[in-house]
Every structure is written in structure tokens, then in C-alpha cells.
Amino acid sequence: MDRRDFLKSAAAGSSWLIASNHLRKGQSLLATEASSGGAALSRVEARYYDKLPDREIKCRLCPRFCQLGDKERGFCGVRENQNGKYYTLVYGQVASYNIDPIEKKPLFHFLPGSMAFSIATAGCNVACKFCQNWEISQMRPEQVQSRHLLPDVVAEAAASYNCPIIAYTYSEPIIFYEFMYDTSLQARKKRLRNAVITNGFINPEPLAELIKVVEAIKIDLKAFNQDFYTSYVRGELKPVLESIKQIAGSKVWLEIVYLVIPTLNDNPEEIRQMARWLKAEIGPDYPLHFSRFQPMYLIKNLPPTPISTLEKLRDIALEEGLHYVYLGNIPGHPAENTYCHNCGQPVIERYGYAIKKINMSGNKCRHCQQVIPGVWN
């Protein structure tokens, strides 16, 4: 689908797209084009792989280092060896796109109140048993409905609908790296910002290149022990921690989300160790979000996280010296607000994804003039 056709079809069947009250409900753009699904797989050569003898390749994008024979795909299911060349099958193959408040990601210290044009393809390089977007993340591209939207079309659509941010989200943007990278370049040409919502399971070299073209990264830290990553994520903790340090050492804004699952990753002492590690390795100013679990996908036998548990874990993180600790998926809770770490006054008041009031002058607390870390304009 080219730029003109996309914008025409979106406008023709989607007056909601322009109406801000509907945008804030997060209505899916896919619903306006349900008849146009079934796009063919892409065939764009992938980055970060080595050619081996006998037409084999070794992928260097993430720490799995998949070694593949001809016609084999990596763990992610969206990158394939074809006769000794490695291809991404999802370049421009958008399985979900939507307009969301940036607070939904969540990014609380990055252009608060802004709308993000959000895109995803099929696939993921981990297999979380609690994934909320498993319908696309745990599927191969042939199994999902998708639209062919090239990077310039995505950037123009975001600009046309007054979204200052493009968010790469829902599934795992690392596995559609080439599409994300090229879209980020197109976004910058239109003075848009780029936000990556990721599990952080990526190798240092591709992350270093990605950092050059995006403005914010939110990492989902699944737990603070390898046993959990082995049993419930099929991934590794150490590379994620290395990604956190690498991003914090750059100019890209970083926030971290920790989904608290009852009995599985809610040990108070482990959370204390995590908070200490974060403060020691990246400092106290990067926001940490404790998010409430809801039963879904392969973990339906556990209840939603008790609010008291979330409050206890937040208290521990604050005790350990982290300045900005939030609770998510509890609309109306005081811990949705941003409080100045110097005077304790609320500088951003929220209800769910909505901004109620901002008490800041530029990047400073209006009450005491303390600088609040983040990207505010």
C-alpha cells in the first residue's frame, strides 16, 4: 500500500482517527481496513548476521545467536535463511497499528500528554507465558493479518494525525529491527520522536546503532533472577541488564517496567536487590513502573496482583533511593502521579492514561524549582 492509498483509506473509513475523544479510547486503526489484510511476506535482507559454510548463517541481532541452515527461521519466526542469505519477512508488514497516549506504554517522563502512532509486526525473540499481546507476538507472520506500510508511509501517517511520536511496541520491535530503524530515520525527517517498547534482549552492537536514531526506550524487566527468565520467558536476564546500562549511558531517555506476578516475581528481597542494582548502575532518576498483573495467555490460574503488594514493593524501591517509582494498571491510585523528589509535591497528576494537571515550569518543579529528569518538549 503506498502513501496516498493508505491516507485515503484511513480517512475514508475513519472519522474517529481525527476526533481526539476517540483517539484517547485507543480504537484500533485495523478495524477501518479489515478487508485489506493478508499482505505477502517481505524479503528484505537482514542486518547483523554472519555467513557460514554450506549456506548456513548465524544471527547476531539478539543473544540467542541462532545458527540456521537453508530455509530455517530464527526463534523469532520472522527472519529466515534463504540460500545462505538472511532475510526479514516482516519489513513493512504491520500487524497492528493504533494511536495511543504515550502514558499507555508507559512512558511518564517523555512528552507527557502526547499521542503516539504505534506499530508492530508479528513475532518475538522470547516467549513470555504471561504475554498480553500473544496473538501477534507468538505468531508467525503468515498467521496474522497485516498491512504493507513502508517507513515513509508510517511517518507521514503519524505526522498527518498530529502524533509527535512513533512507538514501536505491542510485540517485540527488536525482531523488526530493519523496519524500525528505517522508519525512525523517516520520522526524524518530519521532526517526530521515536519510542521503543522492548524486552531489552538485544546485542550491544545493534543496540548501539538503534540508540543513534531513537529518543526513548522502555524496557520490560521481567524479573531479577535467571530462574524466572528460564521458566516463564525463555530468555536471559544478564543481556537485559547490560542493555539497561548501555541505554542509560547514552542520550536516550529510559524507563523500566516490572510486571508483578503474584508468587512468581514479587519477592520483596529480590525487589530490594533490583532497586539497589538500578541505583548503583544507572542512578536514581530513571522511572521504575510496577505494573499490576492480570491473568491471561498461559497464566490464568493466578489472581490479579494485590494492590497492597504493589504498594509494598514501591515503598521498598523508594526506601532504596529511587526517585520516581510508579504503580500501573490501577487507575486513580496516587502512585500514578509524578512527585518532585526534592519537595514531595505533585508535578504531574494523572488518572490512568490521562493527564489531569502539570505543575512544572519547563523542566522544573513549579513549587521548588528542582529539575525533574525527562524529555518535556
Q: Is 107:255 a contact under the CB 8 Å cutoff?
A: yes
- Is a pLDDT exceeding 50 seen at residue 250? yes
- Is a pLDDT exceeding 80 seen at residue 1? no
DSSP character string of 253-298 = EEEEEEEE-TTTS--HHHHHHHHHHHHHHH-S-S-EEEEE---BTT
pLDDT at 40: 76
Q: Is 102:348 a contact under the CB 8 Å cutoff?
A: no
Which tops the pLDDT comparison, 245 or 30? 245
- Counting residues of the chain whose pLDDT is more than 70, the rounded percentage is 90
Q: Is 213:185 a contact under the CB 8 Å cutoff?
A: yes
Between 7-21, 190-204, 307-321, the lowest mean confidence (pLDDT) is in 7-21
Which tops the pLDDT comparison, 184 or 34? 184
Q: Is 179:187 a contact under the CB 8 Å cutoff?
A: no
Strand pairing category for 288-292 and 325-328: parallel
pLDDT at 264: 98
For 55-82, the pLDDT digits (tens) are 999 999 999 999 999 999 999 999 999 9
**How big is the chain, counted in residues?**
377
User: CA separation (Å) from 201 to 61, 82, 207, 272?
Assistant: 9, 25, 10, 23
For 262-276, the pLDDT digits (tens) are 999 999 999 999 999
- Is a pLDDT exceeding 70 seen at residue 36? no
Q: Is 118:98 a contact under the CB 8 Å cutoff?
A: yes
Alpha-carbon gap, residue 373 to 353, rounded angstroms: 20
- Is a pLDDT exceeding 90 seen at residue 243? yes
SS3 content of the chain, % helix, strand, coil (to 5): 35, 25, 45
Q: Of 143, 136, 133, 149, whose CA–CA distance to 93 is shortest?
A: 149
For 193-217, the pLDDT digits (tens) are 999 999 999 999 999 999 999 999 9
Alpha-carbon gap, residue 346 to 139, rounded angstroms: 42
Q: Taken in order 274, 252, 212, 196, is the CA torsion positive or negative? A: positive
Q: Which residue has the cell 498491512?
A: 147
User: CA separation (Å) from 333 to 19, 231, 292, 328, 351?
Assistant: 28, 32, 12, 9, 8
Q: Which domains does the chain have, with CATH numbers?
A: 93-365 (3.20.20.70)
pLDDT at 222: 98
Burial class of residue 262 in the structure, from the number of CB atoms within 10 Å of its CB (0-12 exposed, 13-18 middle, 19+ buried): middle
Average pLDDT over residues 326-337: 98
For 138-173, the pLDDT digits (tens) are 999 999 999 999 999 999 999 999 999 999 999 999
Predicted confidence band of residue 5 (pLDDT cuts 50, 70, 90): low
DSSP state of 32: G
Predicted confidence band of residue 39 (pLDDT cuts 50, 70, 90): low
Alpha-carbon gap, residue 323 to 347, rounded angstroms: 13
- Is a pLDDT exceeding 90 seen at residue 29? no
- How many C-alpha atoms does 148 have within 13 Å on its Cβ side? 10
Query: Kind and range of the H or E element at 315?
Result: helix 307-319
Mean pLDDT of the chain: 92
Q: Which residues contact 127 (CB under 8 A, 6 or more apart)?
A: 138, 233, 234
Alpha-carbon gap, residue 368 to 76, rounded angstroms: 48
DSSP character string of 49-106 = EEE-GGG-EEE-SSTT--EE-TT-B-TTSSEEEETTEEEES-TTEESEEEEEEGGGTT
Alpha-carbon gap, residue 246 to 198, rounded angstroms: 14
Q: Of 352, 265, 258, whose CA–CA distance to 302 is shortest?
A: 265
Task: Tell me the Cα Rg of the chain.
Answer: 20
**Angle between the 268-282 and 237-248 helix axes, to the nearest 10 degrees?**
40
